[in-house]
């Protein structure tokens, strides 16, 4: 998945130039064509002082256990290509531990043919053209590197299930502890955290489509012990209570990534439903979509 952010020529105040991101298990490959991006790191919570850490123009970022905040002081134009962590490790042959909880320059994370492909993609004036060039370059590398049980799921929950299945069938040791260690090594997260992330994804989509609604009912529907349990998990992933994060998603520009996640998955879910319906009717999916 690629995420393009282009604020050139858009009238924005300082608050709108901030971007809030949820906790993430993904690895990201990014290049900035115009402007600059800084990560806001709180140095002393009590004093309110912050430290701005400029991100490299071409970078690799690892999984984050906590929400993150970015800021661009002026117009910015760039792209982030998102990888599942096990796919990133298979593609690069290196552990995700190197980029865990941080962002590094691309030359510090990858080398050889992969680094050359990324550089060529980042040199394109248009990020869409760069993404297509990256995609074409990665295809032969991925064909060689992908696991035999590899898949390209849309939903995080499907990927998490497939990952657990692969962990249970790989290698000699198949005890619960060994399976958990494999998942942790491949993702930087334990299985419980991945399950929480999957439920949160579904919650975002529901709120995008129907609004926040009844919190107690949502907690029950998505498998939380109660409303308070859901609140703790939502705060862990987003930094806010359920009601507050939904309000911010709806009203604040800086929470644009949450809206994008909900819109993408909602569209993918609708497309999957159309495909299933067309298959049952015995006609091509593109006809059903029209």
Give CA–CA dist 261/58, Å, rounded. 23
Q: Locate tokens 């282009």: which residue?
A: 6
In what order do the strands lie in the sheet containing 68-71? 18-21, 68-71, 38-44, 49-54
- State the average pLDDT over residues 120-140: 94
Burial of 249 (0-12, 13-18, 19+ CB in 10 A): buried
Strands (E), the chain: 2-6, 18-21, 27-34, 38-44, 49-54, 58-61, 68-71, 77-83, 103-105
Token pair of 73, please?
Answer: 């002081």
Q: Kindly report the backbone phi and psi dihedral angles of residue 28, in degrees, each rounded to the nearest multiple of 5, phi listed first.
A: -130, 140
**Neighbour count for residue 57 (Cβ, 10 Å):** 16
Q: Which tens digits make up the pLDDT trace of 219-266? A: 888 888 899 999 999 999 999 998 899 889 889 999 999 888 877 666
DSSP state, 99?
G
Q: Which is more confident, 283 or 198?
A: 198
Confidence check: pLDDT of 47 > 60: no
Verdict on whether the full-model pTM lies above 0.95: no
Say which residue, 214 or 62, is predicted with more confidence. 62
Taking only the tens place, the pLDDT of each residue in 72-110 is 999 999 999 999 998 999 899 888 999 999 999 999 999
Q: Where are the beta strands (DSSP E) in 1-100?
A: 2-6, 18-21, 27-34, 38-44, 49-54, 58-61, 68-71, 77-83
CA diameter of the chain: 64
Among 81, 83, 52, 227, smallest CA distance to 146 is for 83
CATH no. of 1-146:
2.60.120
User: How many of the other CB atoms lie within 10 Å of CB of 283?
Assistant: 11
pLDDT at 268: 58
Domain residue ranges of the chain, discontinuous segments joined by +:
1-146, 148-290
* pLDDT for the residue 266: 63
């Amino acid at each position: 998945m690629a995420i393009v952010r282009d604020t050139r020529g858009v009238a924005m105040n300082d608050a709108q130039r901030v971007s809030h991101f949820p906790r993430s298990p993904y690895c990201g490959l990014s290049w900035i064509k115009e402007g600059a991006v800084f990560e806001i790191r709180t140095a002393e919570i009590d004093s309110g002082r912050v430290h701005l850490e400029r991100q490299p123009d071409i970078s690799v970022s690892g999984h984050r256990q906590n929400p993150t905040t970015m800021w661009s002081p002026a117009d910015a134009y760039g792209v982030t290509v998102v990888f599942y962590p096990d796919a990133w490790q298979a593609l690069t042959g290196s552990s995700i531990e190197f980029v865990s909880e941080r962002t590094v320059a691309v030359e510090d994370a990858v080398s050889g043919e992969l680094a050359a492909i990324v550089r060529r993609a980042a040199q394109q004036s248009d990020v869409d053209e760069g993404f297509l060039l990256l995609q074409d370059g990665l295809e032969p590398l991925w064909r060689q590197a992908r696991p035999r049980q590899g898949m390209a799921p849309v939903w995080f929950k499907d990927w998490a299930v497939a990952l657990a299945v692969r962990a249970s069938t790989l290698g000699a040791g198949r005890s619960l502890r060994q399976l958990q260690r494999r998942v942790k090594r491949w993702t930087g997260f334990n299985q419980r955290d991945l399950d929480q992330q999957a439920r949160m994804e579904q919650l975002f989509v529901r709120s995008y489509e129907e609004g926040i609604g009844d919190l107690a009912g949502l907690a029950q529907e998505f498998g939380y012990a109660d409303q308070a349990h859901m609140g703790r998990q939502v705060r862990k992933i987003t930094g806010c209570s359920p009601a507050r994060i939904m309000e911010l998603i709806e009203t604040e520009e800086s929470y644009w990534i949450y809206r994008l996640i909900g819109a993408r998955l909602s569209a993918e879910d609708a497309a999957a439903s159309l495909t299933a319906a067309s298959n049952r009717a015995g006609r091509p999916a593109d006809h059903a979509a029209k």
